[in-house]
A and B are shown apart, each in its own frame.
Chain A
Amino acid sequence: KAGVTQTPRYLIKTRGQQVTLSCSPISGHRSVSWYQQTPGQGLQFLFEYFSETQRNKGNFPGRFSGRQFSNSRSEMNVSTLELGDSALYLCASSSLAGQETQYFGPGTRLLVL
């Protein structure tokens, strides 16, 4: 079974731009969560989607948004990029059948200049 895939793997943007990252979960998984990883703050939860609905949201500003499609693929968008948004953005999927664990993709490395 293929793992979680994320595109693109690397991205360079400038301040003020917006960016869209994509995540394809493991086949059959319906829950997708997004995390931001930085050296200073570590791994921080952004939001979780299940059946195209956002079920939980972390403490990030409204510039961070996401959505999930009917095939469970998910995108996250960051508008008006700031230097501090430079990070590794990780997507994780789970099937939600009972006691489930999350499996991570390789991440998208975003650099904001």
Chain B
Amino acid sequence: QSVLTQPPSVSGAPGQRVTISCTGSSSNIGAGYDVQWYQQLPGAAPKLLIYGNSNRPSGVPDRVSGSKSGTSASLAITGLQAEDEADYYCQSYDYSLNGQWVFGGGTKLTVL
């Protein structure tokens, strides 16, 4: 199983708000390492959505936001659109096992 825990799936109707959680531990998120989020559309490579817990790269709409607290982080998407249907992954750094980058198991977002 993944070092970071995400719900396997979430869903919402167009226009609604959804959140995706990412739970870590004291050797990764809880140690102060930042959380990143990636969006992966079907058949495509992952794309950076959020870096440094809450920063959006240029081109990512402001209806997408990220936050971190303690050993967890969250991704929020408001004003859901059909094009948001994708897999979402959180990522951080873990100092155990000689240090490595780690991902969550991924969350499938379905727009109803």
The answer to whether A and B interact is no
